[in-house]
Amino acid sequence: MQDTLRDNTYITKNIAVLCANGGDVRHSTDAFSNPFHWFTLDNPRLLTKAAEALRNAGARLCMITAYNTRQLGDPMQQVCYHFECERAIINITVILNGEWPTVPSITPLFANADWHEREMMELYGIAVANQPNPRRLFLDEELDQGLLKNSVPLSVMMNGASSSALWERILSDKGAAS
């Protein structure tokens, strides 16, 4: 593992410092010894500093993924930023909740973040602070913003389908409706 980190040690240490107050740091490799670094920031405002460190190191933004991680009663969203730098994939995850509901725009640092951020705003209703071009991409203005915000993740549905939890909830809802 140490050999796969040597090219990215400076970058990963700088980002790991941002995770020091409760964030998660993991490193792994795939079957071809390609390094993957996973960082979870405990504060979305630290994203700008992480993105600046990556830009200064010559990283490129590959994709931004937004998704719901809510359990049946606790809605929460996460945004994962996927970067490539010196043959390594660096993933930075930001957790959005009631305390930190907004993520800062990284479009000023990575121009290709514009469409990803606009898609997050449009489909998931994620607030992106200082997004330079907040117009919708493809959904009609008449539709509510954040259509996917209330969707139930497939993993939650699959877990419920393989246990009695889903059926208990259905039966309790059915009993309440009678």
> pLDDT tens digits for 115-171?
999 988 888 888 999 999 888 777 666 666 655 555 555 665 666 555 666 667 667
Number of domains the chain contains: 1
**Where would I find the H helices in 1-94?**
2-5, 9-18, 47-56
In a domain, 110, yes or no: yes
In a domain, 102, yes or no: yes
Q: Is pLDDT at 5 greater than 50 in this prediction?
A: no
In a domain, 12, yes or no: yes
> pLDDT tens digits for 66-120?
987 755 556 678 999 999 998 889 999 998 877 788 999 999 999 999 999 998 8
For the purposes of burial, counting CB atoms within 10 Å of the CB of 119, is it exposed (0-12), middle (13-18) or buried (19 or more)? middle
Q: Quick one: pLDDT band at residue 59, thresholds 50, 70, 90?
A: very high
CATH code for the domain in which residue 136 is found: 3.30.460.80
In a domain, 174, yes or no: no
- 159 or 42, higher pLDDT: 42
- Structural domain harbouring 54: 2-150
Three-class DSSP category at 141: coil
